[in-house]
Structure 1
Amino acid sequence: MEDEGYPLGDKRFQENIGTIQPHDDALVVMLRIGGYDVKMVMVDQGSGAKTMYPNLYKGLNLKPDDLIAYNSPLIIFDGKVVIPRGQIRLPVQAGSKVVEVDFIMVDAYSPYIAIVARPWLHALGIVSSTLYLKVKYSSRDQIKELVGSPSIARQCMAATIMHQPKAESSASAEGGS
């Protein structure tokens, strides 16, 4: 018996046990941020910006004076440019490994609570796989892994689709009668 062209004994097949193939889900994991377990954290291999959104900011009981200035604009998911409210350094724990992360606080909609990016992956020596929805890293001479949640990734995608503003018709956008 084969699945997606891989024989059952193939190592690649064994790695994706628990994921429905094929899929195009984001890699969404739970991490310990600022001493709290935080769900809906997206691992973004293509970004350098570590971002937090209002739900995490409020959930951690942070105050405006906890933020330091960060004035560089960001382009968010919907293509809009936003000015961050500031930046804050928080400990992020994956298993027994902890690294300080400079999160950029963005007051904008996101289905995710936070996004960790390449600098976080590199600091922990993490290898991530969106195909297998896992991140792997070494800890005390062992290989540990965090497994992403396809169901939460799909909930986030559905929330994004539901949040899309209604498109204007071409007649009203052109000022038609």
Structure 2
Amino acid sequence: MYNEIDGDFDDMAISTFKVGLPVEHDLRKSLTGKPITSVVQLIDRIDKYKRVEEDQQQGKGKAKIGGYDVKRVLVDQGNAVEIMYPDLYKGLNLKPKDLTAYDSPLVSFKGKTVVPRGQIRLPIQTVSEVVEMNFIVVDAYSPYTAIMAKPQLHALGAISSTLHQKVKYPSESQVEKVVRSQSMARQCMVAAISHRLEAESSASAEKSL
């Protein structure tokens, strides 16, 4: 009798813990999608969940490009190619010799034609997945450091929601998510507006001369 109780203890503890979590809780979904068989595995899964959650809260679980944590990344599922702007190009200490030729001109958000400096292939890490992507390097202003586009989203099998400010994608038997920073988004918006106003002011001043 005691042996039977001892043998069922792990299953009982895991089941009780899982039932105590909200239905939509990510940890409960993880335990359901990828079942465990012992309390030791349960503790390991909880620890992993906490680390990922802490990383996301600290901004470390969002995106790494070329092995470095990168902020101000725009996810644009309507864009056909990944874009790298000057801030990231300089931050990664890249040189012209690191780039390969890319001759096709691009059209900016303002409708202007932009001639790329070249392209480079770099690994992108989002939480637990790593994929290599070609970045088109452009010498143009942007409040963002890079744009993640269709190729990366398709490689991850990801779905981007502008309403919920999240990107979700399957990883093993669970769903990972990347959460957008609202404060960073506001900073980028303010920077973009300030840059436009400065450009318009400079253009007006030149016309008056």
TM range (shorter): 0.7 to 0.9
Q: How many residues align?
A: 146
Q: Is the 8 A contact 1:67 1:86 kept in 2?
A: yes
Query: Take 2:136 and 2:115, find their aligned partners in 1: how far apart are those partners?
Result: 10
Q: Alpha-carbon deviations, 1:125-170, whole Å to 9, x = none?
A: 111100000001111211110100121111111111100112656x
Q: Is the 8 A contact 1:30 1:41 kept in 2?
A: no
TM-score, normalised with respect to structure 1: 0.77
Q: Is the 8 A contact 2:169 2:176 kept in 1?
A: yes
- Give 1:30 deviation, angstroms: 3.4
Query: Take 2:185 and 2:152, find their aligned partners in 1: how far apart are those partners?
Result: 20
Higher strand share: 1
Higher helix share: 2
Letter in 2 for 1:85: R
Q: What is the aligned partner in structure 2 of residue 88 from structure 1?
A: 120
Q: Secondary structure at the match of 1:110?
A: coil
- The unaligned stretches of length 5 or more in structure 1 are 1-10, 12-28
Q: What is the aligned partner in structure 1 of residue 85 from structure 2?
A: 53
Query: Take 1:56 and 1:65, find their aligned partners in 2: how far apart are those partners?
Result: 16
Query: Take 2:193 and 2:62, find their aligned partners in 1: how far apart are those partners?
Result: 22
**1:1-177 equivalent positions in 2, closer than 5 A:** 30-164=62-196, 165-166=199-200
Q: Which has the larger radius of gyration?
A: 2
- Give 1:103 deviation, angstroms: 0.2
Query: Take 1:160 and 1:77, find their aligned partners in 2: how far apart are those partners?
Result: 12
Query: Take 2:120 and 2:167, find their aligned partners in 1: how far apart are those partners?
Result: 24
Letter in 2 for 1:52: M
Q: What is the aligned partner in structure 2 of residue 7 from structure 1?
A: none
Letter in 2 for 1:59: G
Letter in 2 for 1:72: S
4+ aligned runs moved over 6 Å, structure 1: none
- The unaligned stretches of length 5 or more in structure 2 are 1-23, 25-60
Query: Take 1:68 and 1:31, find their aligned partners in 2: how far apart are those partners?
Result: 24
Query: Take 2:136 and 2:200, find their aligned partners in 1: how far apart are those partners?
Result: 29
What is the percentage of aligned positions where both structures have the same residue? 61
